[in-house]
Structure 1
Amino acid sequence: MITVLVSFNLAPGTTRVRALDMYRRSANKWAKNVDLIEKYYYFDEESLLGGGVYIWKSFEAAHRWHGPDYVAMVESVYGNPPLIQIFDTLIHIEPDTKRIVDF
Protein backbone atom coordinates (compact mmCIF):
# COMPACT_ATOMS: atom_id res chain seq x y z
CA MET A 1 0.00 0.00 0.00
CA ILE A 2 1.25 3.48 -0.91
CA THR A 3 0.32 6.83 0.66
CA VAL A 4 0.63 10.01 -1.38
CA LEU A 5 0.42 13.44 0.24
CA VAL A 6 -0.34 16.28 -2.15
CA SER A 7 -0.39 19.90 -1.04
CA PHE A 8 -0.79 23.19 -2.86
CA ASN A 9 -1.31 26.84 -2.09
CA LEU A 10 -4.77 28.21 -2.79
CA ALA A 11 -5.68 31.67 -4.03
CA PRO A 12 -6.07 34.43 -1.45
CA GLY A 13 -9.64 34.60 -0.17
CA THR A 14 -10.40 30.92 -0.80
CA THR A 15 -13.02 29.86 1.73
CA ARG A 16 -13.98 26.41 2.96
CA VAL A 17 -17.12 26.59 0.80
CA ARG A 18 -15.08 27.46 -2.30
CA ALA A 19 -12.51 24.73 -1.63
CA LEU A 20 -15.28 22.17 -1.11
CA ASP A 21 -16.86 23.21 -4.41
CA MET A 22 -13.55 22.80 -6.27
CA TYR A 23 -12.92 19.42 -4.62
CA ARG A 24 -16.38 18.10 -5.46
CA ARG A 25 -15.71 18.74 -9.15
CA SER A 26 -12.99 16.07 -9.18
CA ALA A 27 -14.47 13.63 -6.66
CA ASN A 28 -16.41 11.51 -9.19
CA LYS A 29 -13.30 11.00 -11.31
CA TRP A 30 -11.37 9.68 -8.33
CA ALA A 31 -14.32 7.54 -7.15
CA LYS A 32 -14.10 5.61 -10.45
CA ASN A 33 -10.35 5.00 -10.24
CA VAL A 34 -9.79 1.25 -9.74
CA ASP A 35 -6.18 1.77 -8.58
CA LEU A 36 -7.21 4.08 -5.73
CA ILE A 37 -8.12 2.60 -2.33
CA GLU A 38 -9.10 5.86 -0.61
CA LYS A 39 -8.75 9.62 -1.00
CA TYR A 40 -9.17 12.44 1.50
CA TYR A 41 -9.27 16.13 0.56
CA TYR A 42 -8.02 18.64 3.12
CA PHE A 43 -8.09 22.42 3.54
CA ASP A 44 -6.71 24.99 5.95
CA GLU A 45 -8.33 28.40 5.59
CA GLU A 46 -5.74 30.22 7.70
CA SER A 47 -2.73 29.15 5.63
CA LEU A 48 -4.70 28.70 2.38
CA LEU A 49 -3.25 25.24 2.02
CA GLY A 50 -5.21 22.55 0.23
CA GLY A 51 -4.52 19.06 -0.95
CA GLY A 52 -5.26 15.40 -0.75
CA VAL A 53 -4.20 12.17 0.87
CA TYR A 54 -4.32 9.24 -1.54
CA ILE A 55 -4.02 5.57 -0.65
CA TRP A 56 -2.90 3.53 -3.67
CA LYS A 57 -2.52 -0.18 -4.36
CA SER A 58 1.02 0.18 -5.77
CA PHE A 59 3.94 2.54 -6.40
CA GLU A 60 3.28 2.17 -10.12
CA ALA A 61 -0.28 3.44 -9.75
CA ALA A 62 0.80 6.32 -7.51
CA HIS A 63 3.44 7.45 -9.99
CA ARG A 64 1.15 6.97 -12.99
CA TRP A 65 -1.71 9.03 -11.51
CA HIS A 66 0.55 11.79 -10.13
CA GLY A 67 2.57 12.41 -13.26
CA PRO A 68 2.88 15.51 -15.49
CA ASP A 69 -0.82 15.55 -16.49
CA TYR A 70 -1.86 15.56 -12.83
CA VAL A 71 0.59 18.35 -11.99
CA ALA A 72 -0.76 20.44 -14.89
CA MET A 73 -4.35 19.81 -13.80
CA VAL A 74 -3.67 20.89 -10.21
CA GLU A 75 -1.93 24.04 -11.36
CA SER A 76 -4.78 24.96 -13.74
CA VAL A 77 -7.58 24.29 -11.20
CA TYR A 78 -5.98 25.57 -7.99
CA GLY A 79 -3.56 28.16 -9.35
CA ASN A 80 -0.32 26.65 -8.06
CA PRO A 81 1.74 23.52 -8.70
CA PRO A 82 1.47 20.74 -6.12
CA LEU A 83 4.05 19.32 -3.80
CA ILE A 84 3.76 15.53 -4.17
CA GLN A 85 5.23 13.14 -1.62
CA ILE A 86 5.00 9.36 -2.15
CA PHE A 87 5.50 6.99 0.79
CA ASP A 88 5.57 3.26 1.36
CA THR A 89 2.82 2.57 3.91
CA LEU A 90 4.12 0.20 6.58
CA ILE A 91 1.30 -0.26 9.11
CA HIS A 92 -2.46 0.36 9.16
CA ILE A 93 -4.36 0.61 12.45
CA GLU A 94 -8.12 0.09 12.77
CA PRO A 95 -9.08 1.42 16.22
CA ASP A 96 -12.68 0.11 16.09
CA THR A 97 -11.56 -3.49 15.64
CA LYS A 98 -8.17 -3.00 17.36
CA ARG A 99 -6.62 -4.55 14.26
CA ILE A 100 -3.03 -3.70 13.31
CA VAL A 101 -1.92 -4.70 9.83
CA ASP A 102 1.67 -4.71 8.59
CA PHE A 103 2.25 -4.25 4.86
Structure 2
Amino acid sequence: MITTLTTFILPKPVTREEARSIFLSTAPKYRGVPGLLRKTYLLSEDGRTVGGVYFWNSRREAEAMYTDAWRAFVREKYDTDPTVAYFESPVVVDNVAQQILSDAAA
Protein backbone atom coordinates (compact mmCIF):
# COMPACT_ATOMS: atom_id res chain seq x y z
CA MET A 1 0.00 0.00 0.00
CA ILE A 2 1.12 3.54 -0.74
CA THR A 3 0.24 6.90 0.77
CA THR A 4 0.91 10.07 -1.18
CA LEU A 5 1.01 13.59 0.16
CA THR A 6 0.37 16.40 -2.29
CA THR A 7 0.90 20.04 -1.35
CA PHE A 8 0.28 23.30 -3.14
CA ILE A 9 1.61 26.61 -1.78
CA LEU A 10 -1.00 29.18 -2.74
CA PRO A 11 -0.18 32.67 -4.03
CA LYS A 12 -2.71 34.07 -1.53
CA PRO A 13 -4.41 32.44 1.46
CA VAL A 14 -7.92 30.98 1.29
CA THR A 15 -10.49 30.73 4.04
CA ARG A 16 -11.86 27.42 5.27
CA GLU A 17 -15.12 28.16 3.45
CA GLU A 18 -13.31 28.96 0.17
CA ALA A 19 -11.23 25.80 0.50
CA ARG A 20 -14.32 23.67 1.19
CA SER A 21 -15.99 25.06 -1.93
CA ILE A 22 -12.93 24.38 -4.09
CA PHE A 23 -12.49 20.88 -2.64
CA LEU A 24 -16.15 19.99 -3.19
CA SER A 25 -15.83 21.12 -6.82
CA THR A 26 -12.91 18.73 -7.44
CA ALA A 27 -13.95 15.78 -5.24
CA PRO A 28 -16.08 14.04 -7.92
CA LYS A 29 -12.96 13.79 -10.12
CA TYR A 30 -11.49 11.27 -7.63
CA ARG A 31 -14.48 8.92 -7.35
CA GLY A 32 -13.87 5.58 -9.01
CA VAL A 33 -10.17 6.17 -9.67
CA PRO A 34 -8.53 2.73 -10.00
CA GLY A 35 -6.54 1.87 -6.89
CA LEU A 36 -7.50 4.98 -4.91
CA LEU A 37 -8.95 3.88 -1.59
CA ARG A 38 -9.35 7.26 0.09
CA LYS A 39 -8.46 10.91 -0.36
CA THR A 40 -8.43 13.50 2.42
CA TYR A 41 -8.18 17.17 1.49
CA LEU A 42 -5.85 19.37 3.55
CA LEU A 43 -5.81 23.07 4.47
CA SER A 44 -3.10 24.66 6.60
CA GLU A 45 -4.13 26.88 9.50
CA ASP A 46 -2.85 29.99 7.72
CA GLY A 47 -4.72 29.12 4.51
CA ARG A 48 -1.53 29.26 2.42
CA THR A 49 -1.06 25.54 1.80
CA VAL A 50 -3.61 23.05 0.50
CA GLY A 51 -3.22 19.49 -0.66
CA GLY A 52 -4.29 15.95 -0.10
CA VAL A 53 -3.43 12.64 1.52
CA TYR A 54 -4.19 9.75 -0.80
CA PHE A 55 -4.27 6.09 0.20
CA TRP A 56 -3.53 3.73 -2.74
CA ASN A 57 -3.38 0.01 -3.41
CA SER A 58 -0.05 0.38 -5.23
CA ARG A 59 2.58 2.85 -6.37
CA ARG A 60 1.79 2.04 -10.00
CA GLU A 61 -1.82 3.13 -9.50
CA ALA A 62 -0.72 6.26 -7.63
CA GLU A 63 1.75 7.24 -10.36
CA ALA A 64 -1.03 6.85 -12.93
CA MET A 65 -2.82 9.78 -11.24
CA TYR A 66 0.01 12.31 -11.14
CA THR A 67 0.35 12.91 -14.87
CA ASP A 68 1.22 16.10 -16.74
CA ALA A 69 -2.53 16.60 -17.23
CA TRP A 70 -3.13 16.36 -13.46
CA ARG A 71 -0.33 18.86 -12.81
CA ALA A 72 -1.83 21.24 -15.39
CA PHE A 73 -5.25 20.87 -13.69
CA VAL A 74 -3.69 21.78 -10.32
CA ARG A 75 -1.80 24.70 -11.84
CA GLU A 76 -4.99 26.07 -13.40
CA LYS A 77 -7.16 25.49 -10.29
CA TYR A 78 -4.72 26.76 -7.65
CA ASP A 79 -2.29 28.96 -9.63
CA THR A 80 0.70 27.00 -8.31
CA ASP A 81 2.69 23.85 -9.00
CA PRO A 82 2.05 20.75 -6.87
CA THR A 83 4.54 18.58 -5.03
CA VAL A 84 3.96 14.86 -4.58
CA ALA A 85 5.67 12.67 -1.98
CA TYR A 86 5.32 8.88 -1.86
CA PHE A 87 5.34 6.82 1.34
CA GLU A 88 5.18 3.07 1.87
CA SER A 89 2.23 2.14 4.12
CA PRO A 90 2.92 -1.38 5.39
CA VAL A 91 0.23 -1.20 8.11
CA VAL A 92 -2.96 0.86 8.32
CA VAL A 93 -5.33 1.07 11.29
CA ASP A 94 -8.90 1.68 10.09
CA ASN A 95 -11.10 2.47 13.08
CA VAL A 96 -14.20 2.99 10.91
CA ALA A 97 -14.04 -0.51 9.44
CA GLN A 98 -12.50 -1.81 12.68
CA GLN A 99 -9.61 -3.40 10.78
CA ILE A 100 -5.84 -3.45 10.77
CA LEU A 101 -4.63 -3.73 7.17
CA SER A 102 -1.21 -5.00 6.20
CA ASP A 103 0.40 -5.11 2.77
CA ALA A 104 1.61 -8.63 3.63
CA ALA A 105 -2.03 -9.72 3.35
CA ALA A 106 -2.21 -8.49 -0.25
Distance 1:48 1:66 in 2: 22
Partner of 2:72: 72
Tell me, which stretches of 5 or more residues in structure 2 are unaligned?
Answer: none
Tell me which stretches of 4 or more aligned residues in structure 1 moved more than 6 Å.
none
**% identical equivalent positions:** 27
Q: What is residue 29 of structure 1 aligned with on the other side?
A: 29
1:91 — aligned with what?
91
TM-score, with normalisation over the residues of structure 2? Answer: 0.85
1:101 and 1:33 mapped to 2: Cα distance?
Answer: 20
Instruction: Give the residue type in structure 2 aligned to 1:61.
Output: E
Superposed displacement of residue 95, structure 1: 4.7
| Aligned mates of 1:45, 1:18 — CA distance in 2 | 13
After TM superposition, the structure 1 = structure 2 runs for residues 34-45 of structure 1, keeping only pairs within 5 Å, are: 34-45=34-45
Deviation at 1:47, TM superposition (A): 5.2
Q: Distance in 1 between matches of 2:50 and 2:43?
A: 4
| DSSP 3-state at the match of 1:60 | helix
Partners of 2:18 and 2:45 in 1: CA distance = 10
RMSD: 1.7
